[in-house]
A = this chain, B = another copy of it.
Amino acid sequence: MRTVYWDYESNTVKLIDQRKLPFVYEVAEFADYKDVARSISEMYVRGAPAIGATAAFGMALAARQSNATMKHKLMRELEEAASILNAARPTAVNLSWAITRQLQLAGDDIYQSVDDVRQALLELAQQIADDDVELNRRMGFNGAELISDGDTILHHCNTGALATVDWGTALGVIFAAAEQGKNIHVLVDETRPRLQGARLTTWELQQRDISFDLIADNAAGHFMRTGQVNIVLVGSDRTAGNGDVANKIGTYKLAVVARENGIPFYPVVPTSTVDLLLAHGDLIPIEERNQNEVLMAIDRPIAPSGITARNPAFDVTPHRYVTGIVTESGIVYPPFQRNLRAAVEASQRGEWRQRN
């Protein structure tokens, strides 16, 4: 089962409603791209790669919904759909990356009829989704070289099959190490406020029978300082050209404390998440989400009524705290400015597909 996919019988976008996991497993179905945009902003689906694939399917859905018979009219509608989907969440670069690819494809003169465009958009969305799975597996086995038998891995947020189309990024490295037969243990940050670690990462590890303990985010420092963590693995929602990493709120604190204790800190990042045009991380827009996420745990109030909260969803980890970045093109080490560009270009040439 994939996190997001096109249903070729009903011609709808289907995705696992992750807001309800692990208590209810439910697949939501969307026949309107505006609802797909809402599913991204309301976090039915989250995780940069999954958001990218969802937006690509959303564009295919927008083309299918259109009544246009002339291509120039369809293009205007697709541009509007692109703008609505793009606004769903600001931080993950995969969102605009997938939408831009779809718009460019639709605009290509080789597609003359609206039906040609519809077909092309669906095919590219499907390819983005399929590529994501294959690429994640490659990335996972690249990163698994960093994991030794007996290691305890500290992990933040959810970066597994649910954050991608399937398999995962940082959690994909853990899955790969487990498939290699390595004896590993995972400390799972619960990841307030939305508890993606407590709800989703535990659920995925439980299904794969990998040893883990859930911890409060506050406890990560204690386990690092007392020698109980060998490596920290996280995802990334957008990585700047210099290696600065925007990821789920709390990542920055982990990185600082990891370096302070000599523990390697590796973001696991498909190159589609690398934004070479951004010189550094402080140029990355940080989404501030609804304060109710902080005032509640899942749907239960945890604080007095009538108070206010701040809720930045991401933070930026400057590259000086980053040991290396695991990509589908291999593990990238400093200087990131040069080496990340090389990894992105290698990926664009499709080199990762050619490895075994």
Contacts and interface: CB of A to CB of B under 8 A. Distances in A.
A306 B309 CA distance: 32
A218 interface: yes
7 contacts: A192-B192, A206-B306, A213-B309, A214-B295, A217-B217, A221-B315, A222-B252
B310 A187 contact: yes
Given A192-B190, A198-B302, A256-B260, A217 B214 contact: no
A41 to B, nearest CB: 19
Contact of A206 (B294, B297, B304): B304
Contacts of A311: 215-216, 219
Q: Is the interface of A mostly helix, strand, loop or mixed?
A: mixed
Kindly state the interface size class of chain A when it binds its partner. Answer: 35 or more
A253 to B, nearest CB: 4
A191 interface: yes
A312 interface: yes
A330 interface: no
A303 B222 CA distance: 22
Given A217-B217, A222-B249, A222-B252, A297 B308 contact: no
Given A190-B192, A193-B216, 11 more contacts: A198-B303, A213-B310, A214-B308, A214-B309, A215-B310, A216-B250, A221-B315, A222-B249, A222-B312, A297-B302, A298-B300
Contacts of A294: 190, 214-216
A218 B191 contact: yes
A225 B297 CA distance: 26
Nearest to A297: B297
